[in-house]
Every structure is written in C-alpha cells, then in structure tokens.
Amino acid sequence: MLTLAITGFDADPDLVTETVGFEPTSIGRKGEPSPSGKPRIFNGWWLEVDGQRLADGKQHDDALRRILARLEGREGHFARLRMSIQPKQVTVYGGLYVPPHDQCGVWLDPDQMHLLAACGVGWSLDLFTGD
C-alpha cells in the first residue's frame, strides 16, 4: 500500500481537494468516527494508489510513480495548500512486506525526490518481515 496523506488541518477536507486539484480515495473529519470507531481527532485527506501489500521495490516504484503523476505540475497548488490550509503533515507513506531472508530494496530517483521536495511532500516507508 502507498498513500499520499494530508493530515492535521482545521479546514474542511473538501478544500484540500479543491486546492490540490484531484480527488482523494478517502477523507476524515474531526469528530467523525475513525475506522477504530473512536472519534477522529484531526481532519485528513488520503489518496491510496495501491491497496495491496507491496512486496518488492518495483511495486513500490510503480505505486510511487502513480502518486507522482498526480503531483506533476501542481507544485503551486501544494504551495497554496501549505500557506492557506497549513496541514501538519503532507507525506507519502506505506508498508513493504518482505520475507525475512530475502533481499529487497527501494529507491527514489533524483527527479522523484525533486518533485516531492517541490511539493513539500515527505516520504516514509515501514518495513515488515514475516514467515
């Protein structure tokens, strides 16, 4: 799974959609029930591009490229987002599930890093191993 997440802001999540110029796969409003059933403590906006578990670097790269295609040419939109909506976090995050004895790598190319930085988007990846 790889997700572009915009969280921790007071504005209505619909304003995030209007500002960035594309639709999320989900939104959350403060006070509404979260997936756990507890009330949300912050507003959030998420674009999930791959609901499957990522099992190798190529799957991560393919999912990241789909997110980057949405960001391309929208650097100004994300600058407005940071100035007007002021989210606490704008990041791409996900998980990589690898067998414990296999070698697996992920990579970010310079142009990918440049676009993420130009949009003010962070990147994080959790690694999970198992049998």
pLDDT tens digits for 37-65? Answer: 999 999 999 999 977 889 888 999 999 99
What is the extent of the structural domain holding 73?
2-129
Name the DSSP class of 90. Answer: E
pLDDT bucket at 131, cuts 50 / 70 / 90: low
Sign of the torsion angle spanned by Cα atoms 65, 69, 70, 76: positive
- For the chain, what's the residue count? 131
Count up the domains in the chain and report the number. 1
Judge residue 71's burial from the number of C-beta atoms within 10 Å of its C-beta, 0-12 exposed, 13-18 middle, 19 or more buried.
buried
Residue 4: helix, strand or coil by DSSP? Answer: strand
Q: Is 50 helix (H, G, I), strand (E, B) or coil?
A: strand
Percent of the chain with pLDDT over 90: 79
pTM: 0.92
